Structure 1
Amino acid sequence: MKSFTSAFPGLNLWGRLLFLILNFLCLSACDVTNNDDELPPCPPFQIISIPPYDSPAWHPSGEFIGFNHTPLLRINYPYGEHCQGVYEWESQQSGFWLINTDGTNMRRIFPYKIQNPVWSPDGEWIAFVLPLGDERHICKMRFTGETFDTTTLVQLTTEGRNFVPSWSPDGQWIAYNRSICNGPQTCGIWVMTKDGNNNRFLSSYGNYPEWYSSNNLFYLTRAIDNYGNAVGDTLWNYTLNINLKQKITYLNGSNRNFKFLKNKSLIVYCSDGNLWIMDSTGNNQKKLTFESVDNDFGVPFSCSGVDDKIVYTKYNPNNWNYENGTLWILDLITGGKMQLTFNPKPAN
């Protein structure tokens, strides 16, 4: 059989070389079997699914972490693994779970998920948000060490939509956000005693309260420009006994869920879908995560009360792998990350 060069004897050396290059490029362009850019297009995204794990809450003992969880059975990919997947759940096992901080003894202790869960400083109660019709109420119930005693459940708020409860360090007060503005001094930051009495309005339009001491709390207000657009946030410190409000710092982006580390000198918070840290004066801001954390389906993270560690939900709504939506622990001293929970990947 003649080669293609012998079939065209009129071609000189340079002409033959050019022919070879063009032939190679043509064959490469026609070979789509190994070209990832030629994957079939994905249909428009449907409703974004909830993560399998959300709202981690580190118990004050430091020994275990609570969280909401619905076990994931498998992820189906009807349009290929490069497109949106479809979750299959083991819904009968959904609820509030505990896991030891070394990843052992994961167990369900309550057959319902808990919104905005936060432990009391002594670890004997959990405060949370309970949906009742169109309203949302702050409640609490006792933790026995093994499960929740539902006979002790107490509704602490009586009207409106209330969120993000936060216990004072002495356990005597709970701060929270009320979101419905139906008159002056109605929406914003409120505090009440742990039994739901002595409700007191502090500041309009505030959100995400976090106690610095039993007499001081930090909270956030959204900054709005002259056109009504959200342009950032302002962090405030409120001193209760003298009703003094002081500006701490201005923050760009969308910020939420401020938490002090155990020594109160550093603040961890969520900004534009990732974790950041700064000192208590609002300076030295530093990004901690780059892979996205859950910012929409629950409390995104919780701080340990005994060491400088954070547990968070690693979640990106555009990812559909089995690692997405799991809990991770970040060690602020070493910078190391440890995957705490897993989604079981079915065998093929």
Structure 2
Amino acid sequence: KIARRLVKWAIYLAISLATGGAWIYYFADAPTLWTAFWSGTADPVAYATVATLTATTFVLGGFMREQVCIYMCPWPRIQTAMTDEKSLTVTYKDFRGEPRASLKKSQKAPDVFGDCIDCNQCVAVCPTGIDIRQGPQVGCITCALCIDACDRVMQDIGRPRGLIDYATLDDAEREKAGQPPTRHLKLIWRPRTLAYLAVWAGIGLALLFALGTRVHTGLTVAKDRNPPYILLSDGSVRGAYTLRLRNMEGRPRRMEIAIVGLPGAVMWTDDSARADAARTLTRTIPADATLPLRVYVVAPAPGLATTAAQDFAFRVTAEGEARETALSEVTFDTPQEAIP
């Protein structure tokens, strides 16, 4: 028994690692992060994130299970707020099933007892363990497994199917009174559903608009914290920055990086020399890729402000038919004694 449980928990852990841990690959270049993660060279935050997500998935999915659906998941609260007596949902028709009795007892007195033979198959198949015969409940995830189980039992004992069925509470009352069910079009086209349709359509259109108008060029800049600056022998000050240029199109694009502000400042990269420093440089970014770029910025002493830091910005302009621009503001630290 212990061996079986250990194997089961090992499988839970493997699934948790594969599903929960995979989230980190949405936030970085997946192949690069995969190699770094398993070689032990990834950033500590990656390991901490994987450990947290794996642990929560292991506990919530392996042990709590239906408790998550009942007490933690927001969907049941949303569902109860959005549904009413005209909403199609999993419904137990108590007027048909009550009072319950075993099959033998109900066969002896069919006029006294209902169709439900109290076999508990509907409870056994329910993922959250609720008894649908007690009415609509917050734990119901509308999976309809109880419908299938009940229909199978009704078929086996020769009674009409549909004791548990997709139905509205209004239609259940109408069926009890011997009236035909409401037409489905009347259930769909009514003020509540039209209001929901308008809200979701508005959200969808807003998302489509944001997707269609988004900029396909991105830029993030991280400044070196240690040291914050380097004072050179000629009196000028150098700062180091790591730029990440993002090309979110399916084709390579040439991008121009420029310094905005900081008069007299020039820059160069690891793959160039200071003699080639300028206020602009260009790089070609592959399709759907991010290019990290190490940049050194030097400002001459006469051009420095009277404070220990001043703001400037890096601007990236993508060449092509649509000249998209991205701007990232950063600071340039300077020593007080470097001011003439």
TM-score range relative to shorter protein: under 0.3
Q: Quick check: which one's helix share is greater? A: 2
TM-score normalized by the length of structure 1: 0.18
